[in-house]
Structure 1
Amino acid sequence: MIASPRSCSSSVWQPLHSRPSRSRRAFTLIELLTVIAIIGILAAIVIASVSQVRSTAKRARCASNLRQLGSAALLFSHDNKQNRLVSYNFYGDLATLGTSYLPKLTLGDMNNRAGIWMCPEDIVDRSSFTGTPSIDHISYGVNATLVGMSPEYWRTGKSLLSDIENPSRTIYFADASASYIRRDNQRALFRHREKINAVFFDGHVATLPQPAPSVITAEFYIKYNF
């Protein structure tokens, strides 16, 4: 006699392994605001870091420009019996001075903002400037006291490099609002986060902090001796 198959149970079939139910909880308002705040803080840190890196890179490029200007001026002196680079024309601007004595550095358009005469942090729009490139077209100034920019700034009888008492403490070129630094409105311009780049008469370049207003005098801007 053949056995009949076992009858199936009438009860509903249940899986052997059922998944436990998990409750889903949404973010609370406080948690959401906390996450947003953290993201904002991180974004601010990243933006500040990028800005700092860019500023550092621009300051380095500016320092390189000044180093080349200083080197060219010193080479002129070495080739001319140690005579300092001087302006042949009273109130002659640095563009004219450069064209005469630093021809290798002034080839090309003085309005070219990528050139050696332009600081990367100089944001003045010169697109509307007309006429011959002059003091308004460049970013750096020369120490007016020591290059004979005008009669009142001559130092009679002292035109040699050896006459500079403290070459490592006397600025040759620096960030400026015009092509020369003197005691009136043509002054050093602290465009690198309240600092300036400068090349000294010994050829070294330094980044200098802005001095306190109490120590800025007419003599400070004429000699610019640190």
Structure 2
Amino acid sequence: MRVSAKLQTAFTLTELLVVGAIIAILAALLFPVLGSAKGKARRTSCLNNLRQINLGVHMYCDDSGDTAPKTPWTSNSPAMYLDGQTGFKRVLESHSMSNLFSCPADTFFYNYGTNAGGGYLAQSLHAQSRSDNSSYGFNGGQMTIFGTNTFGIAGRKLGSIKDPIKTVLVAELPAYFPWSWHQPEPGLPLFNDARNMVSFVDGHVSYIKIHWNNNSPNGFALQYNPPAGYDYKWSGD
């Protein structure tokens, strides 16, 4: 009788397989939800960072006669092409904002000086001296890339900017090229409609698409304003 009772309470192989299948199905359903929640949490953190940085830039402008930072640009800088975007961080250090410059989604970047794998590096831009240890970039402009001057608002009075609700102030660095930390395209160092978190001259922050024209002689997104239908522009005019 004791043996019979033990046999009746044991799971059969079929029952174990059914339970295993149910667990696998539930896991498959939950993983995308958890991944989506994690991505949303990262974007929320990034949005809050940009709001505070945007406020810091406005505080700097208030102390400087309404004039936006004029970030340094030198061809022999170790930061190279990023210096024009991230040099603004130095003028905000007096406002104790250095802890805001790391985006939680910043886990990789592209080194455009190499060809292998599109220059993909599984490292944070925030950890690189070339980006001045920042995940974010100021829409400074004042650079010449491939023979073309870039747009930007460095040195301009904010009150002179004609469309502050659409003019970029500070954005995630991938927005300037563009690619995305939030919705990456594997193996593509540049692609159209890359989604990035962007803050604007009027103070609001949005998660938007960035235009990239593959046929343009100007290689990066920061070198031209987008066509109609996009919610941003680089130029203050």
Place the TM-score, normalised by the shorter chain, in its bin: 0.5 to 0.7
Which one of 174, 192, 195 corresponds to residue 182 of structure 2?
192
**Structure 2: distance between partners of 1:33 and 1:217:** 59
Q: Secondary structure at the residue paired with 1:45? A: helix
The answer on whether the counterparts of 1:175 and 1:188 sit within 8 Å (CA) in structure 2 is: no
* 1:152 aligned partner: 149
Give the C-alpha shift of residue 152 in structure 1: 3.4
Q: 2:159 aligns with which of 156, 159, 162?
A: 162
Identity within the alignment, %: 21
Is 1:69 aligned to 2:66, yes or no? no
Name the count of aligned residue pairs.
185
Which residue, out of 28, 34, 40, partners 2:24? Answer: 40
Give the alignment of 1:1-226 within 5 angstroms.
29=14, 33-90=17-74, 92-107=83-98, 115-124=99-108, 125=123, 133-135=129-131, 137-145=133-141, 148-149=142-143, 152-153=149-150, 159-177=156-174, 181=176, 187-194=177-184, 195-209=195-209, 211=211, 218=218, 220-222=221-223, 223=225, 225-226=232-233
- Normalised by the length of structure 2, the TM-score is 0.61
Preserved CA contact (<8 Å) 1:126 1:137: no
Return the offset for 1:74: 1.4
Give the direction of change, closer, same or farther, for the CA distance of 1:45–1:141 in structure 2 (3 Å limit). Answer: same
Conserved 8 A contact 2:178-2:212 = no
3-state SS in 1 of match to 2:53: helix
Q: Is the 8 A contact 1:90 1:149 kept in 2?
A: no
Q: Which residue identity does 1:191 align to in structure 2?
A: W
Q: Which runs of 4+ in 1 moved over 6 A?
A: 154-158, 214-217
Separation in structure 2 between the aligned mates of residue 157 and residue 57 of structure 1, nearest angstrom: 31
- Partner letter of residue 91 of structure 2? S
Query: How far does residue 209 in structure 1 lie from its aligned partner after superposition?
Result: 3.2
Q: Cα gap change, 1:32/1:85 in structure 2, threshold over 3 Å: closer, same or farther? A: same
Give the direction of change, closer, same or farther, for the CA distance of 1:154–1:211 in structure 2 (3 Å limit).
closer
Amino acid at match of 2:136: Y
Q: Contact 1:59 / 1:197 at 8 angstroms: preserved in 2? A: yes
- Per the normalisation by structure 1, the TM-score is 0.64
Moved more, 74-83 or 216-225: 216-225
SS at match of 1:100: helix
Structure 1 gap segments, 5+ residues each: 1-21, 108-114, 182-186
Shift of 1:166: 1.3
Report the Cα offset of residue 50 of structure 1: 1.8
- Structure 2 spans left out of the alignment, 5+ residues: 76-82, 109-122, 185-194, 227-231
Partners of 1:99 and 1:106 within 8 A in 2: no
Q: What is the CA-CA distance between 1:57 and the residue it aligns to?
A: 0.9
Instruction: Tell me how large the CA RMSD over aligned residues is.
Output: 3.8
